[in-house]
Structure 1
Amino acid sequence: MAISSFRITRFQFARDRVIGDSQVRADDVNVAALELISDSGAVGLGFIQTLFTALPSQTEIERVFAAEVFPGLEGRKAIGLVHKVLRPRGGNLRAGTLPFHEALQVALWDLAAKEVGLPLYKLLGGERNKVRAYASGLDFHLSDFDYEKLFTYAASIGYTAFKIKVGHKDFERDLSRLNILSRIAPVGSKFMIDANEAWSSKEALMKIEAIQEAGHDLLWVEDPILRSDFAGLKTLRESTRRTQINSGEYLDLSGKRLLLEAEGADIINVHGQVSDVMRIGWFAAEKAIPVSLGNTFLEVGIHAACALPEVEWLEYSFQNFDHLVDEPIEIRDGWAYAPERPGHGLVLSESARAEWSRPEILKREELGAAPANPRLPIF
């Protein structure tokens, strides 16, 4: 099952709602499907995504991939590439022209698992097939009305853990959002907040204490201060005894390792780069540090979540991507379930390829209506 060819399909469409945090917002989806095709016809699928600017045309994406990436894949078996370690010296290991890194890892692991006929979570060593999911609204730019509507709906379908965005210039607004959530969430629910580095170390401590004094217990506070302030993060860990500090989202693999060595996180946050996630997960397990799976495209992170012993939670943000694949990851009653199909279980929908592919860049006014989101019918 040597890799013999590839296919890229570019998508661009409006979101069903604005998403964002204290630092950024996004109204559109800019993504391309990467399919690695073996000589047996098996396909490994990953997704190339940019949040804030449109991807180049499909022809340009293909050109760059063919020049920069495919020569190292052609004729090789995926199972022989997923654990490859490169020698980082000088300019031989550098960021690509386009963000292929995560898509490539996901597609290779998908193909590798298909080569041996296993669901990806089992190839990664997992025995359980489900992980608790928490409802994350990416809600900073929503009105109070839409914010309440989203989390009321999440509670109605079985979620009992919720993460909201904070870090507003008016701290009373953060408190107000927590008050709304407390009113609509089921009794005994767990709350998390995510400041996306909006605060300084002392400011974070003061605001966490104010939130607790207002009656809100927090399971964790995510990225309260700058990712590079390891000393400040450690101080927060040692000072906030009623909550945990979740950090690492904005750090690469090496940065996450340094963060753990500096004892700057109670929980380490990882995303969708399968090889990188497993490596930092092994290190976290040695230190008995919990791992949380942040947003991954189409929730493919469920496989690493099921495989790593320190993962208790997977983030789910109700993003309208499900139409891109034949069978999305199952999420039910506050749990996410890993598919039992070989690979990661996601297959690009041919109807989506026909209806939603956009080979050329469109202006925003040309995107039309967002695709329906059956997991969030209230928007």
Structure 2
Amino acid sequence: MKITAIDIKHYLLPLDPPFKAAWDPNPRKKFASTIVKVHTDEGITGIGSGDLMTGFEGHEHLFIGKDPFEIERHAQVIYNIDFHYGRCWSLDLALWDLMGKATGQPVYKLLGGRSNKLLAYASNGEIVEPEVRAERAQLFIEQGFKAMKIRFHHADVRDDIKVVEEVRKAVGNKIEIMIDANQGWKMPWDTEGTWDLKKAYQVAKELEQLGVFWLEEPLPHHDFRGLAKLREMTGIRIAGGEMNRRLHDFVELNRLGALDVYQPDVALSGGITYTKKIADLVQADGAWFSPHTWTNGIGVLANLHLAAAVSHCPYLEFPYDPPSWSDDRRDFVMANKLKVDSDGYLNLSDAPGLGIELDEEALERYAYKHVYVGES
């Protein structure tokens, strides 16, 4: 089997009303996704997706004519491209989808097959009033969720803590609460300071009293030693790593014992191939692997395959904050929208590959750019 062509298409979904992401002061009026298709001489096509994939286009020729099963070689080439340009791991996801289809196996079985399901935690995206967040938490419980994540980003962190207090008062211990402090990375125009170790510790102490399951990104993603110190100072789990793009970052984070929960996203920082290496590394030392999944439904699905196959963490992130962030918005490129079952699980089928079924009508409606590279 040989790769004959790589097809890259970009899609843009208008958002009306806009999505007011906690980490972005500018309401988001559009949601971009990329679909990558890897075609072969045997008629099998692999599908992957991520963000706008700006760093990959122009390098497709490095894969044309190659055997798609040479995944370690392909991952190394993508890793090299990623260093020079930007996130381009959608191709790795498409190759795993292709290998699954070629062997007639779902990807999670190729990766280890530990399980075919994981509990989802409802990962909220907006800043809303404490009473509104508490009402939505009640709805999550009714839908089967056993955990949720609240994002911080008020000007005064005490207002963020009030949200957690209100939710805890409303739901008691019926649902686990994670907190994302969003201090790990910044939007391009954001020049404000981030938390220092002392502030992170003070917040962690407050959240520990509220029974918070983990505190995510309490310090900048490059402050490995600060994260390690914070982890030693507090009893709450410290999570992070979603925007650490290079393998050596995770080697050093793990060496320092910086995190309890490691969150590399297969669509953004390593693909399935390199992220599995990270998961194996950190879990061998007793930490958890629970990937960030906030791209689109295909990204969630790809992360689910790897996490179900290898993760010891009981939960997987599920971007969900209706009505502003719904299944239809997140999964607009997919025919079958992802949903949790009545017990709060995300389930994988035994369909070969990643089990992706595209919504061709939506793709035709929202397409805005197309790149196709085949054999010369």
Question: Which amino acid counterpart does residue 123 of structure 2 have in structure 1?
Answer: S
Q: Secondary structure at the match of 2:332?
A: helix
Shift of 1:183: 3.6
Look up the SS of the partner of 1:325 in the other structure.
coil
The residue that corresponds to 1:376 in the other structure is none
Q: Which residue of 1 aligns with 2:42?
A: 40
1:285 CA drift (Å): 2.4
The answer as to 2:106 corresponding to 1:119 is: yes
- Report the counterpart of residue 152 of structure 1 in structure 2: 138
Deviations along 1:204-245, one digit per CA (max 9) or x if unpaired, are: 1112213344xx11111001011122221111111112x111
Question: Contact 2:3 / 2:39 at 8 angstroms: preserved in 1?
Answer: yes
SS at match of 2:218: coil
Do the aligned partners of 2:244 and 2:264 also contact (CA within 8 Å) in 1? no
Q: Is 184-193 or 3-12 further displaced after alignment?
A: 184-193
* Cα deviation digits, residues 90-133 of structure 1 (max 9, x gap): xx65545564x221111111111111111000011113101111
Out of 230, 236, 244, the residue aligned to residue 237 of structure 2 is 244
For structure 1, the residue ranges without an aligned partner over 5 or more in a row are: 361-379
Query: Given residue 211 of structure 2, which amino acid in structure 1 is its aligned partner?
Result: D
Letter in 2 for 1:327: N
Alpha-carbon contact 1:12-1:31 (below 8 Å) kept: yes
Aligned equivalents of 1:26 and 1:41: distance in 2?
A: 42
Q: Is the contact made by 1:268 and 1:290 (CA closer than 8 Å) also made in structure 2?
A: yes
Q: What residue number does 1:357 align with?
A: 367
Provide closer, same or farther for how the CA distance between residues 146 and 41 of structure 1 changes in structure 2, counting only shifts above 3 A: farther
Distance 1:210 1:94, change over 3 A: closer
- TM-superposed CA distance for 1:151, in Å, is 3.2
Give the structure-2-normalised TM-score. Answer: 0.82
Give the letter aligned to residue 127 of structure 1. R
Describe the shift of the 1:87–1:329 C-alpha distance in structure 2 as closer, same or farther (beyond 3 A): closer
Find 1:331's aligned residue among 332, 340, 345. Answer: 340
Q: What CA distance in whole angstroms lies between the structure 2 residues aligned with 1:26 and 1:35?
A: 31
Report deviation, 1:155: 2.3
4 and 93 in structure 1: CA distance in 2 versus 1, 3 angstrom threshold: closer
Q: Does 1:136 align with 2:120?
A: no
AA aligned to 2:281 is: F
2:196 aligns with one of 185, 193, 200: 200
CA shift digits 1:235-259 (9 cap, x unpaired): 1111112x11112112122212211
Alignment of 1:160-175 (within 5 A): 160-175=146-161
Cα offset, 1:283, TM superposition: 0.6
Distance 1:349 1:40 in 2: 24
d(CA) in 2 for partners of 1:144, 1:158:
21
Supply the distance in 1 between the matched residues of 2:171 and 2:305 (Cα, whole angstroms). Answer: 28
Do the aligned partners of residues 310 and 327 (structure 1) sit closer, same or farther apart at CA in structure 2, a change above 3 Å counting? same
1:185 alignment partner in structure 2: 171
Maintained 8 Å contact 2:47/2:97: yes
Alpha-carbon distance in structure 1 between the residues aligned to 2:359 and 2:86: 24
Q: In the alignment, what sits opposite 2:67?
A: 77
Question: Is this contact kept in 2: 1:121–1:307, CA < 8 A?
Answer: yes
The 1:119/1:330 distance shift into structure 2, 3 A limit, reads farther
- Distance in structure 2 (CA, Å) of the matches to 1:104 and 1:85: 9
Please tell me whether residue 321 in structure 1 is matched to residue 330 in structure 2: yes
The 1:93–1:359 alpha-carbon spacing in structure 2 relative to 1, beyond 3 Å, is closer
State the 1:84 CA deviation: 4.3
User: 8 Å contact 1:79–1:115 — kept in the other structure?
Assistant: no
**Residue matched to 1:364:** none
Moved more, 339-348 or 184-193: 184-193
CA distance in 2, matches of 1:76, 1:88: 14
- Residue in structure 2 matched with residue 31 of structure 1 by the alignment: 33
TM-score (norm 1): 0.82
User: What does residue 9 of structure 1 align with?
Assistant: 9
- Give the whole-Å Cα distance in 1 for the aligned partners of 2:368 and 2:81: 31
SS of equivalent to 2:39: strand
- Segments of 5+ residues of structure 2 without an aligned counterpart are 184-193, 371-376
Say if 1:45 and 1:348, in contact at 8 Å, map to a contact too.
no
Deviation at 1:335, TM superposition (A): 1.0
Q: Give aligned-pair identity as a percent.
A: 23
* Greater CA drift, 232-241 or 2-11: 2-11
RMSD: 2.7
Q: How far apart are the structure 1 equivalents of 2:239 and 2:315? A: 12
**Number of equivalences:** 341
- Residue 186 of structure 1 deviates from its aligned partner by 5.9
Matches of 1:262 and 1:248, distance apart in 2: 14
Does residue 1:225 correspond to 2:219, yes or no? yes
Match for 1:263 among 257, 268, 284? Answer: 257
Q: Is the 8 A contact 1:137 1:151 kept in 2?
A: no
Kept in 2, the 8 Å contact 1:246–1:269? The answer is: yes
Q: Is the 8 A contact 2:290 2:311 kept in 1?
A: no
